[in-house]
Structure 1
Amino acid sequence: MKARYRIHLSKKERETLLDWIKTGKRKAQHIQYCHILLNSDESEGRKPPRMTDVADRYQSTARTVERVKKAFCDEGMSLFEAKERKTRSDKKIDARAEAHLIALLCQSPPNDAPRWKLQMLADCLVELEIVESISKMSISKLLKKMNLSPSKKRNT
């Protein structure tokens, strides 16, 4: 496999990576990345070993070695900085919406229906302007999480 990403570490980067390995106070994954990068370094006329040899030496895969090399080429040393966690922006139901859903389940279904249907619950939440839109599957998952069912009889 031909090397797509070639690593050329500066003296400072090399010293930093070696220091991180020696101290051992980094994440194990980062230390493994340091080893991979140091072994793949082509600066000062070094000839790096094949990706599969590097992968075998550090209990990894050739794909991981390639991924680390690509990330280093794209990001540099910021590869080792903490990444910002992504928050879920698609979550529509909060505690307020859950409370409204429970209150709906305690009421009798509209239009003289014998029991609540998932779509009826979804429509009611939208109609009451609690959520902008919601699917019946989201309602189903929420009821399952709360261990409720629209068809269960309750002692009232």
Structure 2
Amino acid sequence: MADELSRLAHWVAPLIQGLSVPRRRVAMAQVSTYMRRSNSQRIAEQRNPDGSAYEPRKPRLRAKKGSIRRTMFEKLRQARHLRKSATPESATLTINGRSARIARVHQLGLRDKVDWRRPNSPSIVYPRRQLLGFTDGDVEAITEILLHHITTGT
């Protein structure tokens, strides 16, 4: 996947440079908007970029009867947490604020405290769940967006 993205970047870079700066910014804004929508939808489906399902949560020992449980990362996929930005040279999608810590631990599969606010909270290794990434469909869609801007100029 990484080499496919680098091939796309090398192929499209000279073509994009032919566009004016405002038109490049518009194209990159559309790419970042698409990526936010795509990643948010994939997080809602609880899927990694390769299509595999997220490893499920471990069962709670003391789950309260009748408690309402949300799906993982339900709030994290909201637009206020998934920040997009675009410049004439790049389109980025980031997770900001306190949510970035949670996302980083899950994205990389790191060790963290169960409740970081409590000093005596147990520390566990979280399974790797890729929140942000590119699927094959994303690469095709980004190519289409960029080709549209190159060929039509809108």
Q: What's the TM-score, normalizing by structure 1?
A: 0.21
Higher share of residues assigned strand: 2
- Structure ranking higher in helix proportion: 1
